[in-house]
Amino acid sequence: MKSWFITGASSGLGLSMTRKLLERGDFVHATVRRSDAMQDLAQRNGDRLKIIELELTDTRSLRQEIDRAFANGRIDIVVSNAGYGLFGAAEELSDAQIDRQIATNLTASIQLIRAAVPHLRAQGGGRILQVSSEGGQVAYPNFSLYHATKWGIEGFVEAIAQEVAPFGIDFTIIEPGPTGTGFGTALDRAPENPIYDDTAVGQVRRAIADGSFVIKGDVERSADAMITAGDAAVPARRVALGSVAYHNIERELSRRLDELHGQRDVAYAADRS
């Protein structure tokens, strides 16, 4: 029996994980943005589910809720899951949209981890699952700021994982491919500039609009894989979820490695004599 802290628990992967964990007898602290969310689960599960109404971009409130959760006992696994997608060519995005995307997807995830680490260290260890995306390794037109947050949080996790490993704290980055979570319908969209209609930007827009953008990932199976990652005796640093994510990440890493190998002489020539 484990205790979990999950952000973004009212829908998608967070909700599916919460349901499955409660069904097997675990305890869950679940953050939501609306107090009426998940009341049916609360009624059925009593004190094994603690619903926390929280705006994650409010760092002070976030720290207070993390402190309260750990004050009630050990938390084995923190799942940083909350986030959304911002859709539009980079120049189409408003400053406010950019600020909100970074504050929600990147800064809030960083502050959640920073708030949890002292408690995990004090209790002798624990695990953090950071939900990223295949978009933390690859990039699509129209998602520049979304990718900036996912590539950013992966870099942050790579560094802090080394810092806190001596204290028994480990990390797994979860990288789902396109999954039927409602992500697409919840996109924050920028006004479209027709100058991009005949470019890769327009192609992606049309693929999403006409349904030809392939979504193969299953929410329930992905949630099962995330729980397995949380339970693993020896954690993986990264877990790709779905065949689309696997193949896209494999292709992009291979391309980048080939390009690097082709630059060996240039790289070495930049050293001091």
Residues known to be catalytic: 132, 146, 150
- Residue 157 and residue 171 in contact, taking contact as beta carbons nearer than 8 Å: yes
At 143, the amino acid letter reads F
Place of tokens 């979504």: 215
Classify the phi-psi angles of 25: left when phi > 0, otherwise alpha if psi is within -120 to 50, otherwise beta: left
- Residue 30 and residue 50 in contact, taking contact as beta carbons nearer than 8 Å: yes
